[in-house]
Structure 1
Amino acid sequence: MLGRAANGVYWMARYLERAENTARLIDVGFHLALTRGNRASQEEEWKSVLTTTGQGAGYLVNHGEYTGVQVFNYLLREKDNPGSVLQMIEHARTNARVVRTSITNEVWEATNETWMLLRDLLSRPVRETNLGEVLAAIRRQAMLVRGAMEGSMLRNDVFNFARIGTFIERADSTARILDVKYYVLLPSVAWVGSNLDNVQWDTLLRSVAGNRAYSWLNAGNMDPRGIARFLILDRRFPRSLVFCYEKIRSNMAGLAMQYGGETQAHQLLRDAGAALHQITIEEVFEKGLHEFLREFIGKNTQIGGAIAADYRFIE
């Protein structure tokens, strides 16, 4: 596969995953803001959403206050924001068009349909009254494209690059959400064990679609350390760091077989995966959760860069 095509399918998948993750973050920010007792606390929650997405500095260029309507419209549709959901969906469609001869008709049609639907939904400012509808559509359409990939594509290098892009992006998102949200919620010592405390932790899990799975596995016990273990080390949960890296390893192995050998990215991934499998949650907290997650995010970015270099991606 040419580097340009590999780059296209890889980033098509990453942009779709990032758009869905942004929608999930907005949803959790909105619900957590509702639990905050005053305006300052609500603004702090919306600020944390921007921080998690890495868009805090860009937001402050044109906005001074962290009001909900301003923040979620900035993240969803603002023209001056290159990281908005609307921009990401357009980038995903552009990349899909570049590789249209390499993907199936089902994948192209699902991607194009997603772009048309969200372009219309986001053509006007989003209000609190229709925010839920918009966020649900983003999540639904991203899953539609992934379903088309799973159900119609050959398990070849095109599929492998798409899956690698999805799980590199997903691992980054889970790590950032846990890093930022954990410290937003942790200081609420007076609320530990209260209904409000449980609602907030449940909402955090909702941001990664893990609230029901975690509750089922842990009998509804909202334990911060247990949540961290679930999101980092539970191999059964499809958004945990360990799960993402097991899928990346599998698809990277597929590339090695097809191209006749491993690359530097394979070794970086092997080292990072081994570290994840060997560490315990007690060791994570002994090291410092924030420090562990920042190190993970850095290594994840390094692996993504190595993949682009090894397979000659063209930006």
Structure 2
Amino acid sequence: MLSRTADHLFWMARYIERAENTARMLDANYQLSLLPQSDEFAKSGWRAMLSISELSGAYAAEHANLTSRDVIAFMARDKNNLSSIVSCLRAARENARAVRGSITTELWESLNTTWLECQKLLADGILERDPAEFFEWVKFRSHLARGVQTGTMVRDESYYFMRLGTVIERADNTARILDVKFEMREQTGTPGGTQSLDYYHWTALLRSVSGFEVYRKVYRDVITPERVAGLLILFTDWPRSLAASLDEVREILGRVRNARSAQTERMAEQLFGDVRRGRIGEILSSGLHAYLTEFLARVNDLACCISRDFLVPLVPTEPESIAA
């Protein structure tokens, strides 16, 4: 497969996943903002989300104040923000258009329709009327695109590079979503000192990654921060965990390997092994934020090596710029 084609497929899938995960983060924070709490604690959630997404500077350049309405608009529909939902959906559609011969008609129509409907929904004022409805729509369209991909694509290199983009992006975003909550916890502690309110915050986090029912099935007990972190990091049987995402990365690299990719395969194996062998007590005692920061750096390095070996190499100083 040509590197340019593989690159478009990889980034198409990454942008679909990124749009969904941005919607998940926004939805979780929006739902939490509706709970009774101090203004400062509510702002800390939006501030942490911008920080973890590495968008604090870009937001500050456009907005003087930190408000939920402005943050939602910035991360959902701001075309100048290359990580906003609308920018991701546009980029996914453009990457798909560039390789229409490598994807099925159903997949192309799914992505094209998503882009057209997104513009219509935003023009109709859905963000002002009901942000949660828009976030659910984004998640649904992402699920639909992956379902069409799974149900119509031949299991060849095109399919595997799409899956590779999906799971690399998912690992990155799951780590960021988890870090947002724990950073808030470390900065402010349990809001209001009430266990009941803290329960709703952890529940919102689990729901933001479709993990609430999974948690109940696995632990059958009260929700605790340690178990939430353990589920999102270590539980290989749940597809949104860090361990499960990395397990699929190493499997796919074994299927698409070439003469240059041995080092990248070893890097993926080592990262998966380090995560899989982790113990949540040790991770939390040594500092979850530091652990996740290192994890994100290693995932970014892995993505750069994948691009070097298979795709169009990323610019080192701008590793997440939109692919040409």
For the aligned pair, the TM-score class normalised by the smaller chain equals over 0.9
Letter in 2 for 1:147: G
- Check whether the contact 1:13–1:165 (CA below 8 A) recurs between aligned residues: yes
- When structure 1 is superposed on structure 2, of 15-24 and 130-139 the one drifting more is 130-139
- Check whether the contact 2:190–2:198 (CA below 8 A) recurs between aligned residues: no
In 1, Cα distance between equivalents of 2:40 and 2:281 = 34
Letter in 2 for 1:295: E
- C-alpha offsets along residues 200-231 of structure 1, whole Å, 9 cap, x if unaligned? 11011112111121122222411111111111
- When structure 1 is superposed on structure 2, of 100-109 and 118-127 the one drifting more is 118-127
Structure 1 partner of 2:276 = 277
1:185 Cα deviation from its structure 2 partner = 2.8
1:81 Cα deviation from its structure 2 partner = 2.0
In 2, Cα distance between equivalents of 1:277 and 1:95 = 33
1:262 Cα deviation from its structure 2 partner = 4.1
In 2, Cα distance between equivalents of 1:162 and 1:98 = 14
Structure 1 partner of 2:61 = 61
2:130 alignment partner, SS class: helix
The 1:262–1:62 alpha-carbon spacing in structure 2 relative to 1, beyond 3 Å, is: closer
Q: CA RMSD in A?
A: 1.8
Describe how 1:173-192 pairs up with structure 2 within 5 A: 173-186=173-186, 187-189=188-190
1:287 Cα deviation from its structure 2 partner = 2.7
Flag as ranges the 4+ runs of structure 1 deviating above 6 A.
Answer: none
Letter in 2 for 1:61: A
Report whether the alignment pairs 1:156 with 2:153: no
Structure 2 partner of 1:290 = 289
In 1, Cα distance between equivalents of 2:232 and 2:216 = 13
In 1, Cα distance between equivalents of 2:290 and 2:46 = 23
- C-alpha offsets along residues 147-179 of structure 1, whole Å, 9 cap, x if unaligned? 011111111111111001000000001111111
- Check whether the contact 2:24–2:135 (CA below 8 A) recurs between aligned residues: yes
Letter in 2 for 1:300: V
Structure 2 partner of 1:120 = 120
Structure 1 partner of 2:203 = 202
1:101 alignment partner, SS class: helix
- State TM-score, norm by structure 2: 0.91
Structure 2 partner of 1:217 = 218
In 2, Cα distance between equivalents of 1:68 and 1:312 = 38
1:162 alignment partner, SS class: helix
The 1:310–1:260 alpha-carbon spacing in structure 2 relative to 1, beyond 3 Å, is: closer
Letter in 2 for 1:244: S
In 2, Cα distance between equivalents of 1:39 and 1:193 = 16
2:272 alignment partner, SS class: helix
Identical aligned pairs, as a percentage?
Answer: 33
Gaps of 5+ in 2: 314-323
Letter in 1 for 2:49: V
Structure 1 partner of 2:317 = none
In 2, Cα distance between equivalents of 1:73 and 1:190 = 26
The 1:286–1:43 alpha-carbon spacing in structure 2 relative to 1, beyond 3 Å, is: closer
Report whether the alignment pairs 1:135 with 2:135: yes
- C-alpha offsets along residues 111-163 of structure 1, whole Å, 9 cap, x if unaligned? 11111111211235544532122111100001111001111111111111100
- State TM-score, norm by structure 1: 0.94
Letter in 1 for 2:273: A
- Check whether the contact 1:263–1:310 (CA below 8 A) recurs between aligned residues: no
In 2, Cα distance between equivalents of 1:17 and 1:246 = 17
- Check whether the contact 2:43–2:67 (CA below 8 A) recurs between aligned residues: yes
1:273 Cα deviation from its structure 2 partner = 1.1
- How many residue pairs end up in the alignment? 313
1:82 Cα deviation from its structure 2 partner = 2.2
1:154 alignment partner, SS class: coil
2:205 alignment partner, SS class: helix
Letter in 2 for 1:95: N
Letter in 2 for 1:5: T
Describe how 1:1-315 pairs up with structure 2 within 5 A: 1-123=1-123, 125-186=125-186, 187-189=188-190, 194-256=195-257, 259=258, 262-313=261-312, 315=324
2:213 alignment partner, SS class: helix
In 1, Cα distance between equivalents of 2:296 and 2:302 = 10
The 1:212–1:128 alpha-carbon spacing in structure 2 relative to 1, beyond 3 Å, is: farther
In 2, Cα distance between equivalents of 1:36 and 1:174 = 26
The 1:63–1:104 alpha-carbon spacing in structure 2 relative to 1, beyond 3 Å, is: same
Letter in 2 for 1:215: R
- C-alpha offsets along residues 83-119 of structure 1, whole Å, 9 cap, x if unaligned? 2111110100000011110111111111111111112
In 2, Cα distance between equivalents of 1:268 and 1:311 = 15
